[in-house]
């Protein structure tokens, strides 16, 4: 049996066929990468409910990329270029903390690495193109 690997999902408005609705989705590249590594991918939509049940089923977890984290999570003011996903922030903060507490194998990519940094007490520079002095 292949290991079941969760991949955190984006929440975005999506269009397919004749529908245009909010959706939980991820780029197919994440799915293919988990499959090529020998895992069975499972998309994990943002939810701060049933975290323990979700983690009970998984052998590993990938925190995917996406929107910026809310600067309030690390004690900073929002930069005008910062775009956030509050629902996802809250759910993934709880999921990350629970996964780390279990020592669940975790891969943090882009936004996921920023999330890991903030969960562990770090801060972020919100807009790198600007000179820092």
Q: What is the 3-state secondary structure of the chain?
A: CCCEEEEECEEEEEEECCEEEEEEECCHHHHHHHHHCCCEEEEECCCCCCHHHHHHHCCEEEECCCCECCHHHHCCCCCCCCCECHHHHHHHHHHHHHHHHHCCCEEECCHHHHHHHHHCCCCCCCCCCCCCC
pTM of the full structure: 0.92
Domain 4-119 belongs in CATH node 3.40.50.880: yes
pLDDT surpasses 80 at 20: yes
Band (121; pLDDT cuts 50, 70, 90): very high
Mean pLDDT computed over 13-33? 95
pLDDT digits (tens, 9 = 90+) for 68-96: 999 999 999 999 989 999 999 999 999 99
Q: Which of 53-57, 61-65, 78-82 has the lowest mean pLDDT?
A: 78-82
Longest dimension (CA), the chain: 53
Read off the pLDDT band of 48 (50, 70, 90).
confident
Mean pLDDT of 50-59: 96
Percent above pLDDT 70 for the chain: 98
Integer angstrom CA distances of residue 10 from 23, 34, 36, 75, 91? 8, 17, 22, 24, 11
When pLDDT is averaged across residues 91-110 and rounded to a whole number, the result is: 97
- Distance (Å, rounded) from C-alpha 54 to C-alpha 47? 10
pLDDT, position 133 = 61
Amino acid 129: pLDDT: 74
């Amino acid at each position: 049996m292949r290991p079941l690997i969760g991949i955190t999902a984006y929440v975005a408005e999506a269009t397919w066929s004749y529908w245009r609705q909010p959706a939980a989705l991820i780029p197919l590249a994440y799915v293919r990468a988990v499959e090529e590594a020998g895992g069975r991918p499972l998309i994990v939509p943002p939810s701060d409910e049933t975290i323990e049940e979700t983690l009970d089923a998984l052998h590993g977890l990938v925190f995917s990329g996406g929107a910026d984290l809310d600067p309030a999570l690390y004690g900073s003011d929002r930069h005008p270029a910062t775009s956030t996903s509050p629902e996802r922030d809250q759910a993934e903060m709880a999921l990350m903390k629970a996964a780390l507490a279990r020592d669940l194998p975790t891969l943090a990519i882009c936004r996921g690495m920023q999330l890991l940094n903030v969960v562990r007490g770090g801060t972020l520079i919100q807009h790198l193109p600007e000179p820092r002095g």
